[in-house]
Amino acid sequence: MQEQNDNKNMLNDAITLVKAGQSTNARKLLESCIDANPQDVTAWLWKAKSWPSIEDRIKVLEMCLAHNPGDKFVTDALITLTRHKNRLNSISH
């Protein structure tokens, strides 16, 4: 129970860091959260949000989906980001 509370507190701290623009520090906490519970979709989503590039965000969501197969929210987010990336690529060419 204590470990679960520690992970929840760590996740909340990481979210606060992402919102404050301290993504590098947040990712360290998010990695620990994910290591402790790879099925924590919320931690994965915040990890994805912490990366500046669409490509990195897509990679994170793909890893999340590997640990959470069939998760509709993650699948939809991945589809949305991929479409956005494709639109940006078509504009730049």
Residues for the chain: how many in total? 93
Contact 62, 31 (CB under 8 A): no
What is the number of other CB atoms lying within 10 angstroms of the CB of residue 65?
A: 17
pLDDT band per the 50, 70, 90 thresholds, residue 33: very high
Query: At 83, which amino acid appears?
Result: R
Weakest-pLDDT range from 2-6, 24-28, 76-80: 2-6
Mean pLDDT of 42-59: 97
End-to-end CA distance of the chain: 53
pTM for this one? 0.89
Contact 50, 23 (CB under 8 A): yes
Contact 74, 80 (CB under 8 A): no
What is the residue range of 79's domain? 2-92
**CA–CA gap between residue 62 and residue 78 (Å, rounded):** 7
CATH of the domain at 27: 1.25.40.10
Would the pLDDT of 5 be above 90? no
How many domains does one find in the chain?
Answer: 1
